[in-house]
Amino acid sequence: MKNVYKLFVAGICAMTLVSCGDSFLTRDPYGSTITQGQYEKLSNQLEGSMRGIYSMMYAVTDHDEFGKRSIDMYTDIMSGDMALTNYTYGWFYTDEQLQGRTGRTGYIWYYYYGMLHNVNAVLYAAQGGSTASADNVIKRIAANGLPNTVSKSSDELMYYTIVSGDTLASYTEVDAKIANCYAQALTMRGYIYSNLLMLYCEPAITDLSKELAFPLYNEYNMDEAQGLATMSEVYAQVESDLTNAIDYFSAFSEVERSSKLAVDKSVACAILSYAYLNKANPHGHGDAYTQAYTNARDYALLAIASSTAQILPRRDLLETGFNNVSNVSWMWGQDVTVETAGGLASFFGQVDIHSYSYAWAGDTKAIDENLYKLIISVDSTQVIKDKDTIMVASGHPFDARQYWFNDGSANNIYKLCPDGKFFSASNPISTKSDDIDREWLSDNVFLRIESMYLIAAEASYRLGNDGDAISYLTSITDQRVVTGMDAEYEAYKSTLNHSTLLAEIEYNWRVELWGEGYGLQTFRRLADEVLGENERKRGGNHCAKAGTTIKPGTEYTFQMPSAEGSYNPKVNTTTLP
């Protein structure tokens, strides 16, 4: 059972709650009191704090530093799936040169740790601040699961345990809003740490308890320097935060989600499922191996069940431009307004050739040429080594996602740019200077439901449930068929089996979620197995290191900033990961 303290730090509200009643009002003469109006103000403060945390996800510090979507670009370019095909202005050239693991580490590190500090501050307030501790909290729960009315001295706090059946009937509307903010903050901390694990730690570690990760800060130690935690400790924090958040979202499901920018139960489940997928060791054995993939699959399915999002249907594939938060497949995203538009310092300001952007002006970003060939060519091959047999998966000419990318027939300058996937709603076609979008109001996607089906497919494959894996995978590909090529697609489906399935799952991670920040983790997690003894080369359309052989290794793991060793006395610079 999960717990939320119903007291808030004196430093925030300049008051101390000394006893709890049905409405959190003090009824006994122990020190100062808190009124219902003050309590409601606290609720508003927490909601405002959460909005501030979300705003950090799209805060601009430079034209290649604009929050989550810029990090998505770093990692997709690093994986090779996104190619910088030409450059004049120099943005993202470090990533194209495969120097991002050191060149980007400072921005990424302080982006996540800055957000973490604010998240911990919310959690600190929501748990009673400096006076909350495991030793002085009253843990009395009435037999019927409803809150008690207990009077205690000011150094003894009370919290309520959420149990099955607790709803708004048990709590006031303000109580529920506070619990919902608490759940949102827990979700964001789980999100931050899961991203740091994926970026700064090696995948497929056999013994997580012996592998050092990075400093682990919570709401009670955030003002003190911390040494390096183990990967096991960080994963435990991720799992605890997200499972707690899921329980709170479930218990207070009546609280309406303010917008798709605010995380909810489905997003918490999605983050946890992806964390389990990346935690799992594909070469492992035993219960731990099975449990990680089982959890990844189960939380992905719970995310699907908890969300109103649905797989983008075939009829809308080329119509959305992935530019509107109302897109039916988006689980989490930002509604960009005039006040929050980043202009050139935004994803569309860097990628969309139909907006006034660096891509339009010459710094083109495109799908890797070799990945594109894997879509359109009948005779293209991708190899997977299954025991001693090399199995071949052919191209995918029936795949309508090929039209997400410019074939260059009209204008070779923009060849393979994603003008069918990402384009301005106000100008989906023209690249003439008089027509291009100069408002940059295209929305930002953070999470789509399709990723959950891919997690379920990959985890099911690992668990030996090929039938389920094929079902989850084809739930997506059924909606990605070129009109008039259904027969070719059905023939392709009939060839799916254990030997080719992992290659097809990897292919769909790379194509379906191109430009959405999954490229690096897909590469690190799957490339070795899918390629077997063979090599993957960057396509010829990269402006740097074209044709370079790439293989997962330490060069695809971000290096901790040296400043962490210089300014954190508990981190030894000679042992930095």
Q: pLDDT: is 343 or 179 the higher one?
A: 343
Q: Is the pLDDT of residue 293 over 70?
A: yes
Q: Is the pLDDT of residue 9 over 50?
A: no
Q: pLDDT: is 411 or 498 the higher one?
A: 498
Q: Is the pLDDT of residue 459 over 70?
A: yes
Looking at the chain, the whole-number percentage of residues with pLDDT higher than 70 is 82
User: Mean of the pLDDT values across residues 109-114?
Assistant: 97
**Distance separating alpha carbons of residues 288 and 280, to the nearest angstrom:** 8
pLDDT bin (cut points 50, 70, 90) of residue 574 is low
pLDDT reported for residue 75: 98
pLDDT reported for residue 401: 98
Classify residue 20: in a domain, yes or no: no
User: Mean of the pLDDT values across residues 55-71?
Assistant: 98
Q: Three-state DSSP class for 220?
A: coil
Classify residue 370: in a domain, yes or no: yes
Classify residue 295: in a domain, yes or no: yes
Across 37-41, 146-150, 380-384, the highest mean pLDDT is recorded for 37-41
Q: Is the pLDDT of residue 307 over 60?
A: yes
517's enclosing H/E stretch is none
Classify residue 237: in a domain, yes or no: yes
User: Mean of the pLDDT values across residues 120-125?
Assistant: 90
Q: Is the pLDDT of residue 415 over 70?
A: yes
Q: Is the pLDDT of residue 3 over 70?
A: no
Residue 270: which residues within 8 A CB-CB, separation 6 or more?
299, 300, 303, 331, 332, 447, 451, 452
297-332 b/e with 16+ CB inside 10 Å = b?
Answer: bbbbbbbbebbebebbeeeebeebbbbbbebebbbb
Q: What is the mean pLDDT of the chain?
A: 85
SS (H, E, C) 421-444: CCCCCCCCCCCCCCCCECCCCCCE
**Distance separating alpha carbons of residues 8 and 34, to the nearest angstrom:** 11
- Identify the CATH number of the domain in which residue 515 sits: 1.25.40.390
Task: Say if CB 244 and CB 252 are below 8 A apart.
Answer: no
User: Mean of the pLDDT values across residues 355-365?
Assistant: 97
Q: Is the pLDDT of residue 115 over 60?
A: yes
Alpha carbon 295 to its chain's center = 17
pLDDT tens digits, one per residue of 80-93: 999 999 999 999 99
Q: pLDDT: is 426 or 395 the higher one?
A: 426
pLDDT reported for residue 2: 39
Looking at the chain, the whole-number percentage of residues with pLDDT higher than 90 is 69
Within a 10 A sphere around the Cβ of 189, how many other Cβ atoms? 25
Q: pLDDT: is 103 or 27 the higher one?
A: 103
Q: Is the pLDDT of residue 191 over 80?
A: yes
Q: How many domains does the chain have?
A: 1
**Low-confidence winner among 41-55, 262-276, 300-314 (lowest mean pLDDT):** 41-55
CA angle 438, 443, 444 (to 5 degrees): 120
User: Mean of the pLDDT values across residues 329-357?
Assistant: 97
Q: Is the pLDDT of residue 148 over 80?
A: no
Q: Is the pLDDT of residue 263 over 50?
A: yes
Task: Say if CB 219 and CB 120 are below 8 A apart.
Answer: yes
**Distance separating alpha carbons of residues 256 and 429, to the nearest angstrom:** 37
Classify residue 210: in a domain, yes or no: yes
Residue 395: which residues within 8 A CB-CB, separation 6 or more?
373, 374, 375, 376, 377, 378, 379, 380, 381
Classify residue 525: in a domain, yes or no: yes
Classify residue 468: in a domain, yes or no: yes
pLDDT reported for residue 390: 39
pLDDT bin (cut points 50, 70, 90) of residue 573 is low
Residue 352 identity: D
- Edge to edge, the sheet with strand 137-138 lists 2-5, 157-162, 137-138
Task: Say if CB 104 and CB 127 are below 8 A apart.
Answer: no
pLDDT reported for residue 466: 98
User: Mean of the pLDDT values across residues 545-564?
Assistant: 92
Q: Which domain holds residue 111?
A: 35-126+168-558
